[in-house]
C-alpha cells in the first residue's frame, strides 16, 4: 500500500563517525555494537512519531582500521582498493545499524521494515580534489618510509601537521546517487533505508555511460544532503559530537546558536566561523539541502538526539 508523502514526514538522519566508534576507544566490534545501540535511541523516537527515514553514517575510524589491515597483510593476500573498502564497510556497518534498529523497534512493539542498500555516488572525474588530494586516511608513516611508498605504491603522502605522515586521497563533491529512485520508493512507502554509509561508494560515468569506481572518500554530510534532495526529504538531522553549533567555537567569546536562517548560516560560514575540517561541511550540506527544497536541518549530538527532536537542544537551520 502506498503511504502518502503528506501523511508522514520524510527525513534523512546522518550519524557521525562517533556514533559507532568513539574517541579513545579501541573500536572492537563489541564497542561498536554498544555505541550503535546508544546512538539509535533518537532514531527510534523519530520512527515512533511516524517519520519515514533514510539513515546514513560516517566511517572515518573504520576506514582507517581497514587500511591498516590492508597494509599489514599485503605480503599474505592481495590488497583491497579504497573504493571497495568503502563498499565493504557500507555493508558491514549497515548490518550493525540494521540489526540494532530491528531489535530496538521490536522492544517498542513498532513494526517497520528495515533494509541496507549500497549506494554508488557519482562524482566528477575532473573534480579538483582528484588531481590534488587532501583527505587524510589510514595509518601514519615515518618520514623515511614516504619516498619508497610513493614509488612502489603510487601513494600521495603528506604531513599531517603535528601527527606524522599519512596517505591523502581525493574527496570529490557528490553529484547524484545511482540508486536514488529505489531508495526514494522504499522510504516513501515506509521502509527504513540505511544507505550511503561513509558518503557512499565513489564512481564516475564514462562517455558511454558505464560506471567506474574511484579510490576516494566522499563527505558523508554532503552525500546526505544529496540523498535528502533526491528522495524529497523534509528534514535532515546531522548528528555529530557537539550539542549545538557555535560561533567562535572553543574561544572565550563562544556563542551557541539555537535557530538560524540559511542566509545567516551562509554569512557565518563566509566569515570563517565554521572550519573546513570540522563544522564547515555540515553547514554547507545544510545550506544545500534547504536550497534544494528541504524544510529544516537540525545539527546536534548523537546522544542528545531525543532532546533535539523535542526542540530542547541542537541548532535548527531554517529558511
> For 195-212, how does the pLDDT look when each residue is reduced to its tens digit (9 = 90+)?
999 999 999 999 999 999
Range picked from 26-30, 34-38, 104-108, 162-166 for highest mean pLDDT: 104-108
User: The cell 528522495 sits on which residue?
Assistant: 231
Domains of the chain, CATH where assigned: 9-35+52-122+175-231 (3.40.1160.10), 234-319 (3.40.1160.10)
Span 113-118, average pLDDT:
98
The residues pairing with 213 across neighbouring beta strands, listed in sequence order, are: 203
In angstroms, the CA 25 to CA 158 distance is: 26
Span 45-63, average pLDDT:
94
Sign of CA dihedral 142, 147, 153, 156: positive
Span 212-227, average pLDDT:
95
Residue 2 has pLDDT above 50, yes or no: no
Helix (H) or strand (E) holding 14: strand 10-15
pLDDT at 254: 92
Q: Of residues 309 and 5, which shows the higher confidence score?
A: 309
Q: 45 and 305 in contact (C-beta within 8 Å)?
A: yes
**Residue positions annotated with a catalytic role:** 17-18, 135, 220, 282
Helix (H) or strand (E) holding 51: none
Amino acid at each position: 500500500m502506498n503511504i502518502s508523502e503528506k501523511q508522514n514526514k520524510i527525513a534523512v538522519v546522518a550519524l557521525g563517525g562517533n556514533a559507532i566508534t568513539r574517541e579513545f576507544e579501541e573500536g572492537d566490534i563489541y564497542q561498536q555494537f554498544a555505541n550503535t545501540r546508544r546512538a539509535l535511541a533518537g532514531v527510534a523516537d523519530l520512527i515512533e512519531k511516524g517519520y519515514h527515514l533514510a539513515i546514513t553514517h560516517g566511517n572515518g575510524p573504520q576506514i582507517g582500521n581497514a587500511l591498516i589491515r590492508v597494509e599489514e597483510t599485503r605480503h599474505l593476500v592481495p590488497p583491497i582498493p579504497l573504493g571497495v573498502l568503502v563498499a565493504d564497510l557500507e555493508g558491514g556497518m549497515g548490518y550493525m545499524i540494521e540489526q540494532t534498529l530491528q531489535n530496538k523497534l521490536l522492544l517498542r512493539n513498532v513494526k517497520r521494515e528495515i533494509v541496507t542498500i549500497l549506494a554508488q555516488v557519482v562524482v566528477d572525474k575532473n573534480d579538483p580534489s582528484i588531481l590534488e588530494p587532501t583527505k587524510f586516511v589510514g595509518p601514519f608513516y615515518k618520514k623515511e618510509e614516504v619516498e619508497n611508498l610513493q614509488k612502489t605504491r603510487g601513494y600521495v603522502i603528506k604531513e599531517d601537521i603535528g601527527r606524522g605522515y599519512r596517505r591523502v586521497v581525493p574527496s570529490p563533491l557528490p553529484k547524484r546517487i545511482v540508486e536514488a529512485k529505489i531508495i526514494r520508493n522504499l522510504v516513501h512507502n515506509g521502509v527504513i533505508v540505511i544507505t550511503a554509509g561513509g558518503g557512499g561508494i565513489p564512481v564516475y560515468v564514462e562517455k558511454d555511460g558505464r560506471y567506474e569506481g574511484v579510490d576516494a572518500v566522499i563527505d558523508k554530510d554532503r552525500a546526505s544532503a544529496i540523498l535528502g534532495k533526491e528522495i524529497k526529504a523534509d528534514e535532515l538531522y546531522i548528528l555529530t559530537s557537539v550539542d549545538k553549533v557555535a560561533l567562535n567555537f572553543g574561544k572565550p567569546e563562544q556563542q551557541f546558536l539555537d535557530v538560524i536562517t540559511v542566509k545567516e548560516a551562509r554569512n557565518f560560514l563566509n566569515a570563517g566561523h565554521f572550519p573546513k575540517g570540522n563544522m564547515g561541511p555540515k553547514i554547507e550540506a545544510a545550506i544545500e539541502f534547504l536550497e534544494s527544497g528541504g524544510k529544516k536541518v537540525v545539527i546536534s549530538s548523537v546522544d542528545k538526539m531525543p532532546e533535539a527532536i523535542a526542540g530542547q537542544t541542537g541548532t535548527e537551520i531554517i529558511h
